[in-house]
Structure 1
Amino acid sequence: MSRFFQKANIGKMQLNNRIIMAPMCMYKSDNSGKVKNFHHFHYTARALGKIGLIIVEATAIEPRGRISNNDLGLWEKSQIKGHKKLVDSCHKFGSKIALQIAHAGRKSIVKETTPIAPSKIIFSKNLPCKMPNSMDSYDIEDIKKKFVKTAKRAKKAGYDAVELHAAHGYLLCEFLSSLTNKREDTYGGSLENRCRLTVEIAKLIKQKVGLPLLVRISADEWMNEGWNIEDSVYLSKELEKVGVDAIHVSAGGNQEVVDNMPEIKPLYQCHYAKKIKESVNIPVIAVGFITTPHECEEILNNNVSDFVALGRELLRNPNFIFNAAQELNERDFIESSYLRAY
């Protein structure tokens, strides 16, 4: 059997194959932050397509933690019901489902609120961004509690896992980089201090929630003096120590303009995942312009990562798994009702 279709675990969660739907913001909610009909059909279609793990888009832990006014949220009890309905629908078709819990930090453009960030540095003067308020010690403790409470609500909704969003220039990512974190307390300065908040939140979620926990990171922010792959290896090792079950390796997003923008081509981020996989003993997920079954096979067979996450390709093709089964001569994995199409 192809490794593509082998069952594999992330923590205690067993997936039916090694393909993951990467979290992608759909901007289809409203100011309530609640799950809408679009989300039910969008995600359930990928479950019908037999994706091993579906990671639901960035879901805010508080209203000012949304990227936009159309983001999902899970900051209060009233939002649990919609998430539970979504989870139950996806489970009917055998997929596991995780929720990415997030705070946008200085990249929030929510109209009614002022962003918060580790330091008072605006993300962009060209976009509708506001100057953020620098977080004090109370804000930091409050954010920790809100991440944990949101993870607990995800568990009540039936999610199989949660993913902590520490990538792409959002709040936790801002703490990691010396370019966006100019603090002089225990959450700024040294690499250890800048990683502290992400590691502490991960540890609290593992201790208090009990679900498998993934952490998504930007392995490199593509700046000459910024966060890089060696920093990411250090962070990944620290996350492994506190019980994190998998590292999801992306890149970029912390700066509007970068010094070292890579060529965007197939597998362009996979060397980051491979470097981290060589450094930790927990599963690693590769992502980034991966679009074909044979690219997935190449990644898995060369031990670049343990799982492969697809984003835009799954927007184009919810039945990617069935096409892969045809190409890789594993037709038993095609939904029986769809076999006539192949």
Structure 2
Amino acid sequence: MSANPTPTDRTSPDARATSDAVEAPGTAAGQPALFRPITIRGLTMRNRVWVPPLCQYSVTDRDGVPHDWHLVHLGAMAAGGAGLVVAEATAVSAEGRISDHDTGLWNDEQAEAWSRITRFIRSQGAASGIQLAHAGRKASVWPEPLRRPGSQPLEDGGWPTVSASAVAFDGLREPTALDEAGIQQVIDDFRSAARRAVAAGFDVVEVHAAHGYLVHQFLSPLSNRREDRWGGGLENRARLLLELVRGVRLEVGERMPLFVRFSATDWAEGGWDEEQTAIVAGWAQEAGADFFDVSTGGLVAHARIPVGPGYQAHLAEYVGDRADVPVSAVGRITMPEQAERLVADGEVDAVMFGKAMMRDPHFALRAAYELGADSSMWPPQYLRARPEVNDGEW
């Protein structure tokens, strides 16, 4: 593992990108930065307006199989012009679900159901991604909109949880600390899920190392109290993530982009922070990761988070500059001009729009219109609704 990455200077949206994550050739002159294609390994995405994983808690049959809601939810955003649509946090095992209404990718039935969704996303010109996740100590909670305080009781369908250490998240049941066999099982589960993601037709696989879930629980000293090779110093706390990145890379091959989602900070004293994130991002890139989706928080309930417009973007920029890796920003970025500045000024390489996309699945089409970008993303079925043919009105 290399030493602490050195800060870099960037003056263009792609200066940080490696040869495998670059602006696609043939980009039209004058195209807004947010709508310039980007190529990562063997995949070119038509723009940098991306959909982050958005948990839907909609698998009411409790079998992890996505259904019509997931097709329409994700498909609408693909038809709406997004460059990349990432499916929600999808459990690599039944015990890794946040709730029993989560999607999964631990069996072939689930993979087949996902393949219907990836086919439609691709048919609309977007790339499809999936976030592979294990909730750890934050598993077995009540699904939204049925959310109640505390863990879901075992007699009501809940299950025992696991973590780096036997330290509970506030208000939830105490987890069991994973032993060596349990850690190896988690690694095997991520690898199997990655293999099924390829079979299901996904274009991108993301490892979830954020928001207080299992990988983040290993990374942060607030939740990892171990004294073995999986705990203590930063290199040990990062070991699980790096093993997952190496294992997933082996499963997906050399052409598929591999993302990692980080929480750049716990927003809590003595916890995980942006400096550690940047160091581990550099290590993860060496292990086979290509791109870093930077969020924050989720590990502890007492975090004091200064929420506001674009409140996490500076942390994505920090990680990108310190580690010299491509990054995306997410969090209260709601206006096309706001996102355009972030990309055009070289602060980030793409922007994830969560709630903005849920409010308006055609957000990317609207942003393209407002920024004066090429309108070829419009589905043929909707061409007569373009503002250009309707007196310029959205």
TM (normalized to structure 1)? Answer: 0.96
One-letter identity of the residue aligned with 1:13: L
**Mapping 1:312-323, distance limit 5 Å:** 312-323=355-366
For the residue of structure 2 that corresponds to 1:70, the secondary structure is: coil
For 1:293, the equivalent position in structure 2 comes to 336
For the residue of structure 2 that corresponds to 1:67, the secondary structure is: coil
CA deviation digits over 1:255-310, x for unaligned, max 9?
0112xx23211110011111111123432111111001001111001211101111
CA distance in 2, matches of 1:208, 1:191: 26
The structure showing larger relative contact order (alpha-carbon pairs under 8 Å, at least 6 residues apart) is 2
**Mapping 1:150-161, distance limit 5 Å:** 150-161=193-204
For 1:117, the equivalent position in structure 2 comes to 163
For 2:41, the equivalent position in structure 1 comes to 11
8 Å CA contact retained: 2:166, 2:176? yes
**Mapping 1:103-252, distance limit 5 Å:** 103-109=134-140, 111-125=157-171, 129-210=172-253, 211-252=256-297
CA distance in 1, matches of 2:372, 2:111: 41
8 Å CA contact retained: 2:91, 2:106? yes
CA distance in 2, matches of 1:332, 1:166: 35
Which segment drifts farther, 192-201 or 5-14? 5-14
Matched, 1:338 2:385: yes
8 Å CA contact retained: 2:369, 2:375? no
For 2:93, which of 54, 62, 65 is the aligned residue?
Answer: 62
Identity within the alignment, %: 35
8 Å CA contact retained: 1:109, 1:130? no
One-letter identity of the residue aligned with 1:299: L
For 1:77, the equivalent position in structure 2 comes to 108
For 2:316, the equivalent position in structure 1 comes to 273
1:244 shift after superposition: 0.5
CA distance in 1, matches of 2:286, 2:384: 45
1:226 shift after superposition: 0.6
1:338 shift after superposition: 2.5
1:325 shift after superposition: 1.9
CA distance in 2, matches of 1:333, 1:321: 12
Which consecutive residues of structure 2, in runs of 5 or more, have no partner in the other structure?
1-30, 142-156
Question: For the structure 1 residues 337 and 242, does the alpha-carbon distance in structure 2 shift closer, same or farther, using more than 3 Å as the test?
Answer: farther
One-letter identity of the residue aligned with 1:33: G
CA deviation digits over 1:199-250, x for unaligned, max 9?
1110111123223100000000011111111100111110111120101100
Question: Matched residue pairs, number?
Answer: 337
1:12 shift after superposition: 2.0
CA deviation digits over 1:71-123, x for unaligned, max 9?
00011112111100010011110000000000000001253320110100111
Which segment drifts farther, 242-251 or 332-341? 332-341
One-letter identity of the residue aligned with 1:267: G
TM (normalized to structure 2)? Answer: 0.83
Which segment drifts farther, 110-119 or 51-60? 110-119
Which consecutive residues of structure 1, in runs of 5 or more, have no partner in the other structure?
none
Structure index of larger Rg: 2
Structure 1: 4+ residue segments shifted above 3 A: none
One-letter identity of the residue aligned with 1:81: E
8 Å CA contact retained: 1:321, 1:334? no
8 Å CA contact retained: 1:161, 1:214? yes
CA distance in 2, matches of 1:329, 1:16: 15
8 Å CA contact retained: 1:120, 1:132? yes
